[in-house]
Structure formats: structure tokens, C-alpha cells
Amino acid sequence: MDRITAARGTELRCKGWRQEALLRMLENVLENCENQQELIVYAALAKAARNWDSYHAIVATLKSLEEDETLVIQSGKPIGIMHTHRFAPLVIMANCNIVGKWATSENFYNYQEQGLIIWGGLTAAAWQYIGSQGVLQGTYEIFQSIARLHFGGSLAGRFILTAGLGGMGGSQPLAGTMANAAILCVEVDEARIDKRIASGYLQKKTADLDQALAWILHASASKESLSVGLLGNAADVYPELIRRGIVPDVVTDQTSAHDLVYGYIPAGYSLEQVIALRKSDVNKLQADAGASIAREVSAMLEFQRRGAIVFDNGNNIRTQAVQYGVKNAFDIAVFTEAFLRPLFARAIGPFRWVALSGEAEDIRTIDQYILEHFQDNEVAVNWIRLANQYVPVEGLPARIGWFGHGDRTKLALAVNAMVREGKLSGPIAFSRDHLDAAAMTHPNIMTENMKDGSDAISDWPLLNAMLNCSSMADLVTIHSGGGGYSGYMTSAGVTLVADGSADSDLRLKTTLDNDTGLGVLRYADAGYEEAFDEIEQKGIRRVNV
């Protein structure tokens, strides 16, 4: 089968741009995916569709879908077409939602083997992944926050140690160099290292730790930015650096540590050995992966004891470490609570837009609008300037920017007007990460240590999804964790299409105002002063009880 890429241009295969947009977003996640043959987009297991029959059925249905119909998808499998109305979502989906006491990794794998379920990741099965850029800005903002809090505002001359160069972790080397640091990224799969070099996200590679350290330490001493991919296993490399007395300034990990079967590779194993062991002795594979994670996290804790800034980058590695004997793993802070919560309390988070025509000039036009009309948003303006300089196009041209309540709506309506006036060559799709103010409950990542103790209350993403359906979004989805994430999180995603129409104006304004408004209310309900300030400034209506 020919490799799938997203359609470009303005020729429609569907009955309208809304349907065509969602089809191109589906194709785009596969164009940017880690393993197209298996429909896996990132994170070892996160899939775009349940299987190839389901994929082809989704494509055929989108091509025939009417404006007043809604396609229902259950864990990557199309179920039916419902007659709704032209302001209803075109697609609603639920991926990997298992009843609480049954939501274990063992049950997930069984359901997956039976062909009943897939893990949709956050943006994979929701057709919202835009390549490594999708997490690039968030990683960059974390590094910038660390610079402000701990290093006088700059990471120049600083050494970042991390691991993982997959679909999520692949953003780390470029984020590190954009923040002016020297960053060493450990990765067990040479193909992933080569892919990041080919995409422009990574500069150098080696299998020699001495060579890698020589490059990194020279760059640090010279205050030069540099990214190095080291072929190796973090469970070996991190303890070895401890043994040598080398303490990086910043330490984290973005391997697929959430999944001990399909994600994290144990020390001493080749990729081929792991694939064989998945079939012959999965219990041994899990035990050995868990033991390796315990070694790595123990080293991270020792780095922290010796003065490094150490944080969990959202892959459940601390949880796995606790289960395999590292009882104080949660002495390591999670990135959201440590660095980003004041932004989330104002519903400022990762907002995304995709040029459905495939014309990169459309993104540059929107970039210029942001530079001219959002000068008071320092985070967004700084990022747009950097993205123009450093971020290569992956798949359909796209951009991400951290915008909050009101600003997302302002930008989307302006873009819809540009489409209407012919200033852009085609419609634009808007989405956001599921890691957003009202859209995720994850007590070990997004909602860890909430002020009011509401860490595990998953009402919020469910309300978010229902509200976005009520607000006329084009696609709405509810996800829960799969594999090693089973039972740990629930999230909601949304996609909107700016096709230049008055109907799009209504959809964009209603959905984006309500999506971020609920986020502010969620944090106000938990007692965050930033959220109360945002309510007062923006006139968000809160019911006082």
C-alpha cells in the first residue's frame, strides 16, 4: 500500500470543507506518524484508527457525509451515521474509555488483542497531531520557565539531560537549542535519532558516551547551543553519569515509560529481543522494564539531591518507579505543577492551527497577523518569531501558540475572515492539545496537587466534551488512558474548521469562548487566584455557591 499523505490544494473529495478538513487531519496524523503500517502515531501504542478496515471505512464515510449528519466512532472504529443538524458536530468519538475498576493495563491489552479497543493517545485518534511541533512549544516554555526560576533567565551554558526521541520526545532537542542550552538526548532506537536529524530537530548523533559528553561539555563551557542524540539506554546512561560525578543542570525523561510492554525498552535488550519477548514472556518483559525504570528514576533522584533541576515530563515514569520499589519517586515534581499551572489557571494553553491547503504561506500570513495584533502576548509573539526561524514543516503546514480565553477566539475569527476575503489559499483547522485547562484530569500530570484536592475528579473533561458538542464544534472526542496509562487519565479534544463562512464564525466564537471559559471556571472552583482575576477581567459568568 502506498504511503498515506494528507491531500493538498482546494479540490474537495467530500461534500463540504468541514468534512474535507477532518479527512485531511486524519491523513495528516498518519503522514506524521511513527509507524504508519500499524497506524501508530506516537507513544508506542497511540493509534489513528483501530485497523485498516476501520480507517478506510472512516475515509469513505467522511467523503459521503452530509452537512446535517454525525459520524460516531468508538475506539477508532466507525459505528454509525446519525441524522442531526448542520450545527451539530460532524464527528464524535470516544477512545479507550473503560469502567473504573476494569481500567487496568492487563485488561486493556486483552481488549486490544480482541480488537475491541485502541488507545488514542491525546491527539492521535482525535486526528489532531501535527508532528513534533505539537509538543515543541510546551517543551520550550518549560525550559524557559526553568531558566527564569533557577538560572537568571537564560539556559546558555547549561546542560540538559533527557531521554526519548519518539513522536513526543522528538521535540526535546530542538526545544533545548531554541532555549540556548546544550541538550543530550538518550535514545535506544537509532532510526528515531536519524529521523530527528533528518527533520532538523537534532544536530548530532553518536553511540559513544565519551564523545557525546565531550561535545556537550564543550558547548556548555562555550555557552553555545547544541543537541546530541546518544544511542543508548537511559537506565544505563543516567547511573553512569552519577558514577562519573557529572551532574547536568536539568534532568528529565520523555520515553514511553507509561507502557512496560510496548514502550519502555529494558536495559540490556535489543529492539528485536523485546519484540520476541512480547510474545514469549510478557511478564518478564514488564518486570525487566520496571527494574530499568527504577534504576533510571533512582539516578534522577540522585541528580536532584546533587543540585540538578529534575522534573517528570508527563510519561508516568514516577508511578512506574514507585511500583518497582522507588518509594520516593514523587519527590520529583511534575512539569505542570512546577512550571505551567499559573498559565493553565488562566486557560492559557497549547492552541493549534493547520493550513488545509498545504500552503506554508498561509501559516506565515497568520504569523504576521499575530505579530501585529497580539503584541501584548509576549509568550505567543516570542514563539512565533522563533518558530519562523527554527521550526520545519512536517506534513500539512501548522503552527502552535499558547493563547487563552478571548485571544483564541480573536485569532480564529480573524483567520476565518482572511479565508472569506481570499487572503489565505484555503480553510484552516483549529484544535488544541488535550492538556488544556478544562480538558484533562490526570492526577499524576495535569491535576497533581490541585489546591482543593480535586486531582482525580474527571467530571471536567466530560463536561468539556459535552459543552463543546453544545457549542457546535466540528469534532469532539473523549479519551482515557491505555496500556500503562490505563486508569490514570481522562481527556477531551476538539477541532473546528474556519472555512470563511458565517456558520464558522458562530462555531468558532461559541466553542472557543466556552472551551476556555470552562477552563478558567475549573481553576476558580479549585481556588486559584489567577482564575478569579481572569473571571473579573474577561467577564466570565460564574455561579457563586
Give Dmax (Cα) for the chain.
66
Rounded mean pLDDT, 4-23: 98
Whether the per-residue pLDDT at 66 is higher than 90: the answer is yes
- Read off φ and ψ for residue 204, nearest 5 degrees: -130, 160
Q: Which residues of 458-481 are buried (b: 16+ CB within 10 A; e: fewer)?
A: bebbebbbebbbebbbbbbbbbbb
**What gap in Å lies between CA 292 and CA 350, rounded to an integer?**
32
What average pLDDT does the segment 421-447 reach?
A: 97
Rounded to 5 degrees, what are φ and ψ at 297?
-70, -35
Could you tell me which of 39, 25, 32, 24 has the C-alpha nearest to residue 75? Answer: 39
Q: What is the average pLDDT across 304-315?
A: 95
Q: Would you put residue 316 in left (φ > 0), alpha (ψ -120 to 50) or beta? A: left
Whole-angstrom distance, CA of residue 437 vs CA of residue 347: 5
For residues 247 and 159, give the distance between their C-alpha atoms in angstroms, rounded to a whole number: 9
* Number of separate domains in the chain: 1
The verdict on residue 461 lying in a domain is no
Q: How confident is the model at residue 43 (pLDDT cuts 50, 70, 90)?
A: confident
Which of 63-67, 140-144, 262-266, 270-274 shows the highest mean pLDDT? 63-67
Q: Tell me the DSSP string of 420-486.
A: HTTSSSS-EEEEE-SSSTTTEE-TTTTTTT-TTS-TT-THHHHHHHHHHHHTT-SEEEEEE--GGGT
Q: Is the pLDDT of residue 135 over 90?
A: no
When pLDDT is averaged across residues 401-421 and rounded to a whole number, the result is 97
What are the grid coordinates assigned to 365, written together? 500570513
- Per-residue pLDDT reduced to its tens digit, 222-242: 999 999 999 999 999 999 999
- Looking at the chain, the whole-number percentage of residues with pLDDT higher than 70 is 100
On whether residue 159 sits in a domain, the answer given is yes
- pLDDT at site 133: 82
What's the one-letter identity of residue 68? D
Q: Grade residue 75 by pLDDT with cuts at 50, 70 and 90.
A: very high
- pLDDT tens, residue by residue, 385-408: 999 998 889 899 999 999 999 999
Instruction: Give mean pLDDT, residues 117-136.
Output: 92
Residue 397 lies in a domain: no
pLDDT at 405: 97
Question: Dihedral sign, CA of 439, 444, 450, 452?
Answer: positive
- Average pLDDT score, the chain: 96
- Give CA–CA dist 254/171, Å, rounded: 10
Mean pLDDT of 491-508: 98
The answer to the question of residue 190 being in a domain is yes
What's the pLDDT band for 324 if we cut at 50, 70, 90? very high
227 is a domain residue: yes
Q: What is the pLDDT of residue 44?
A: 83
- The CATH number covering residue 317 comes to 3.40.50.10730
Structural domain boundaries enclosing 246? 133-340
Residue 89 lies in a domain: no
Three cell numbers at 155? 539556559
* Mean pLDDT of the region 422-430: 98
44 compared with 125, residue with greater pLDDT: 125
Backbone angles phi, psi at 527, to 5 degrees: 95, 20
Residue 497, strand partner residues: 429
Per-residue pLDDT at 256 exceeds 80: yes
Residue 371 domain-assigned (yes or no): no
Which helix (H) or strand (E) segment holds residue 226: the answer is strand 226-231
- pTM for the predicted model, two decimal places: 0.91
Report whether pLDDT(168) > 90: no
Using CA atoms, how far residue 465 sits from 72, 364, 485, in Å, is 14, 31, 20
* pLDDT at 132 > cutoff 90: no
Residue 233 domain-assigned? Answer: yes
298: pLDDT strictly greater than 90? yes
